[in-house]
Structure 1
């Protein structure tokens, strides 16, 4: 067993330590292993670590529990992805309260080029279910990863429609990976594993307690490029997911509905308050997200960089190395250009036709049509 992974997983079993504090501990100590080898006196100097927590870190109990958890994961055909792993969902990694690890069962590419989360009421109408399938069918040329919460109503309709149209779909769970909730969706969840996945941040054996659902919703919002709300009442998990997505600067879309239908109230309110784009078909997503209608990747243009200024040339050459769009913060790091200066350069390059700007402060070379 990889002892380093034992240390990393063990951090998550220290009572009273959340995901943000796990990352802070590793940052202060240098590695997960060093957290457990740091003296109690030094641990107490770390913000957020008190006497009780420092004593728990010094105990061997959490290390034993981590070993047991890794063994259980192997038995359940489940992988633990750590925040530091290359295959950890890159979009999720960008949010402040990202989980420090997730449990994954299945074959989905969690870093698919295009990712859409679809959510809605558990008491979906036939109209809502039909809209869900129509939207997913329209999105099929983009081959997106479809994410939802495996719940009744719109969630399970999204998963089933994805399976029908051979799209990879991921169910984000509020329980342990071994507890399918609701149990009636077990058959669908098994089919999802063939070309999709189930994921959770909760240890094996965790029950779907009420407090786990809002936490689950942040993962649904954090893993995607866009959140689509099909039907929603005034209150509920779908609106929570939409609000979280807005706080992450994700694009949110909502389907307008009958003014007299209670399950349209949430969507209509999101649109009315400018918290969601009004959506009638996948074309609205394509327009807002700047997605080409063709699923075939466009060939990059061949640029003459000799006419560019030195920093512009530096940025274009760096973008040529990237296989996909890159966040401006990452581009700033690779080019060693200040973010404010880089933003100005990217704007100029966009005017000149060298660069395409995408939602979420991402950029890529312009494509040849």
Structure 2
């Protein structure tokens, strides 16, 4: 009997290994179609990671294989959800309200000059309905401060705040500044203390606080030359700026809007916390009601909530919540089903950026492949 059981287990394990290899091979076929430098992917089901793997390279120059556990990426705009989570923790503690006047929070006048009597609220800033834009840039808060920039008016659109949507990076760099002003703690340290450390995740917004040997190099695709260009500036430490940082003023040096560095596996663990409405096992990061506020769409057309969005277009027939990111050639995707309790993370550090139905084709196709094989 023992021999029979042992034999059955051996066959089962062999089948599992073969399945994993077949899946990896199919992921590679999609990656090769878009000439991806590397792809890391993780699938979570019922709170557990059921698949994690990587193909390709973390560095073309060094011919270094990409490691799904070890390598960390600048995940771009998925970073916004970390900023919003931290802000919502303060909302839960009654330190501020989503309906507060953002001018009072950030320390200078934030008013659309065409609608001076309309209050721009924290909720509007976190949902991209503030009527603020990135025309003047977003790496310095002075661009929108009337006392610092004579062209501050250009940072506003022509519609009334709260009536329309436009994605805007400046919104979240300002939100990061508010976080510092309220807590008197440096932005990157606060995110580590309140979100990363409790969840036992390795990552952060400050380059010098991380092991640079773990960074996956990022590559943008030069269409004219048909080659990938190493974007070394993606991990510019800005060490001198950090040393001279002024709380609540120079916060954009950490890029609350896009500067989180984290592995695909740890991003999946963070995603799982949101899938379970603010909890990871016994660890509570955010109250259920406040987590649901983040996920509930405020803009019907775009499906955007408070740094998380709803979509039914990524996987046909599936209602998902999450976010994407793109910067320096990287494309990231983090989406989950709060109802069915599964989620998928896909990150590439460089590919030919082809779009389909508003999604990056490479990440969308791999998400669908993983869903069909492991979830469906």
TM-score normalized by structure 2? Answer: 0.25
Q: Going by fraction, where is strand more abundant, 1 or 2?
A: 2
Q: Going by fraction, where is helix more abundant, 1 or 2?
A: 1
| Structure showing greater Rg | 1
TM-score normalized by structure 1? Answer: 0.26
